[in-house]
Structure 1
Amino acid sequence: MPKTKFQEFIFTLLTSGCMIFLMGVYNVALHTGGLQYGTFVHAAISFPLEWLIGFLCAFFIASRTAKYLALRIALPQDRPIFKILCIQTFTVCTMVPLMSLLGTIESSGLTVNILVIWIQAMVLNFIIAFPLQIFVVGPLCRWIFRCIFSRTNHKEEKSIEREMIQNGFAE
């Protein structure tokens, strides 16, 4: 998983992009009465601005909040998959309200009913966002990330191992 700020940036870019596009398709389908070709086109048109806002929220707010909360539950000796699932869960719990508010304002504007519309949007979005993140986007983005950075991480591990051998810490 990400070991540097640059890797964290790339990983967040990947996961936020996938989630925001897929959730955009889902929300357009909800508002237009079903999934059609035009649903993907409409979601693609609004995607760049939503991705920018969503990425900034994910990178600066959700990732820090999720890690903080996950470390309250996951212990250092826990299996890595448990830690990953905790972080993903809290990321969804943070991002759904933020992005649902953005979508509510985008689709309905600032109306008297904004609170009710926002709560409904959060419930409908969480129902899809959580399993989508846990079972599809999370594993897919981790696999893509490993493909991109496997050579870099392998070189870093070999370099550390070589340095340890030179300093007499390992055989």
Structure 2
Amino acid sequence: MPKTKFQEFIFTLITSGCIIFIMGVYNVAIHTGGLQAATFSHALHSFPLEWFIGFLCAFFIASKTSKYFAFRVAKPTDRPIFIILCIQTFTVCTMVPLMSLLGTIESSGITSNLIFIWLQTICLNFIIAYPLQILVVGPFCRFVFRHLFVSASQENEGKIEHEMEQQGFAE
């Protein structure tokens, strides 16, 4: 996991890019009636602006908010995976409403039905974003991050080996 602000910046950039593109494809598919080849190009067209705004929201709002709430549930002494899952959970809970508002305004404009469309969009996005973040994007981005920052990976491997030795699993 990120140890410095630069590493946090890179990790957020990777994670937000992955989840925003996939969720963009999902939302375009919903609005166009299904997944087609054109869905990807349409999602790619709006991706740069969405990624920029999403990255800013993730880096400056969601990272602080998610850590605040995650450490109300988890303790720093808890297993690293539990802490990661808590942070990811609260990140999704923060980012889905923010990005759903952006998507709702982008697709429907500011209308008298904005709040109702936004609430519906939050529900539709959350049911995909949460498992996607926990099961696919989070593990993939941590894998990429570990390979970009080998020293961070070696520290984590040392912690895991130390935990295994304490629990009697060492060879």
Shorter-chain TM-score above 0.5:
yes
Q: Could you tell me which residue of structure 1 aligns to residue 12 of structure 2?
A: 12
Stretches of 4+ aligned residues off by more than 4 angstroms: 151-155
| TM-superposed deviation, 1:76 | 2.1
What are the ranges of 5 or more consecutive residues in structure 1 without an aligned counterpart? Answer: 156-171
Encode CA deviations 1:105-134: one digit per residue, 9 max, x unaligned: 000000000000000000000000000000
What are the ranges of 5 or more consecutive residues in structure 2 without an aligned counterpart? Answer: 156-171
| TM-superposed deviation, 1:154 | 4.8
Q: Could you tell me which residue of structure 2 aligns to residue 161 of structure 1?
A: none
TM-score (norm 2): 0.88
Q: Could you tell me which residue of structure 1 aligns to residue 50 of structure 2?
A: 50
Q: Letter of the 1:75 partner, please give it.
A: K
Map 1:62-141 to 2 at 5 A: 62-141=62-141
Contact 2:146 2:152 in 1 (8 A): no
CA RMSD of aligned residues (A): 1.2
Tell me, in whole angstroms, the C-alpha distance in 2 between the residues paired with 1:152 and 1:43.
33
Q: Could you tell me which residue of structure 1 aligns to residue 144 of structure 2?
A: 144
| TM-superposed deviation, 1:77 | 2.1
Query: What is the percent sequence identity of the aligned residues?
Result: 74
| TM-superposed deviation, 1:75 | 1.3
The structure that has the greater radius of gyration is 1
Tell me, in whole angstroms, the C-alpha distance in 2 between the residues paired with 1:49 and 1:111.
22
TM-score (norm 1): 0.88
Tell me, in whole angstroms, the C-alpha distance in 1 between the residues paired with 2:110 and 2:5.
36
Contact 2:21 2:43 in 1 (8 A): yes
